[in-house]
Amino acid sequence: MDCCKYKRVMLKLSGEALSGENGFGIDFDVAQRISTEIKELVEMGIEVGAVVGAGNIWRGRNGEGSMDRTTADYMGMLATCINALALQDSLESIGVKTRVQTAIEMKEVAEPFIRRRAMRHLEKGRVVIFAAGTGNPYFSTDTTAALRAAEIEADVILLAKKVDGVYNKDPKKYDDAIKYDKLSYINVLEQGLQVMDSTAASLCMDNNIPILVFALDEPGNIKRAITGENIGTLVSK
């Protein structure tokens, strides 16, 4: 394992990461590309947990003004299960062993989340995809990634984004936006930087889980992140 800075990682993919150009639904070519990169990690002996979001299908806030928030959030959590199954299918089609564990029980479809069992799967080289968020409304899948990362004792959260790190202002709007190589949790929280929501960032801070924010669109980036190449922005103590 000398190759790698981290042994066990938690990969957080937003729902949009699976959607390709149009931002909605699942693009199977994109899912295959991500799966191929995950496969490389598994072959390097890295233990991989993954949390997928659901922004490509439904977010709780889509129902704002017309729906009960809790119901809308449950819809979001169920939508993460659709993405998790798509990622599972894509990974298994190229020979990667996986398990999906859900925070809301649906035992005909996937295992329930059981921490010890998840750890065992990881040790056996299976990719464990954590679906249905935390199982609680009013939370996000970033918080899920932080929570599950703490539970499975992951060395880092790999936060795959559309942008290649954290900037002081929106790089799409401002040419003079500056990218940070490193940040502390407190910087993120105090400056309200767009890394993850404050619940998720606080959980990472309290449990000292580093977060590496990097661009998923750049092929090979997941491996670069693992081998400790200087990409993206590292948020730590």
Q: Catalog residues that contact ligand UDP under the rule CB under 6 A.
A: 14-16, 53-55, 59-60, 73, 76-77, 80, 133-134, 136-137, 139-144
220 is in an annotated binding site: no
Identify the three-state secondary structure at position 56.
coil
CB of 212 closer than 8 Å to CB of 221: no
Helix spans in the chain (H): 28-43, 69-93, 115-123, 141-151, 185-191, 198-207, 221-226
Q: Which is nearer to ligand UDP, 125 or 137 (CB)?
A: 137
Q: How far is the CB of 44 from ligand UDP (least distance, A)?
A: 26
198 is in an annotated binding site: no
**Which is nearest to 223 in space by CA: 6, 19, 61, 57?**
6
β-strands 127-131, 179-180: how paired? Answer: unpaired
137 is in an annotated binding site: yes
Q: How far is the CB of 45 from ligand UDP (least distance, A)?
A: 28
First to last CA, the chain: 24
Q: How far is the CB of 134 from ligand UDP (least distance, A)?
A: 3
Q: Which is nearer to ligand UDP, 10 or 181 (CB)?
A: 10
Q: Which is nearer to ligand UDP, 52 or 175 (CB)?
A: 52
Q: Which residue is nearest to ligand UDP (CB)?
A: 53
134 is in an annotated binding site: yes
DSSP state letters, 196-219: S-HHHHHHHHHHT--EEEEESSST
Q: How far is the CB of 125 from ligand UDP (least distance, A)?
A: 26
28-43 vs 69-93: helix crossing angle, rounded to 10: 70
Q: Which is nearer to ligand UDP, 1 or 79 (CB)?
A: 79
> Which parts are annotated binding residues for ATP?
12-15, 55, 59, 167, 170
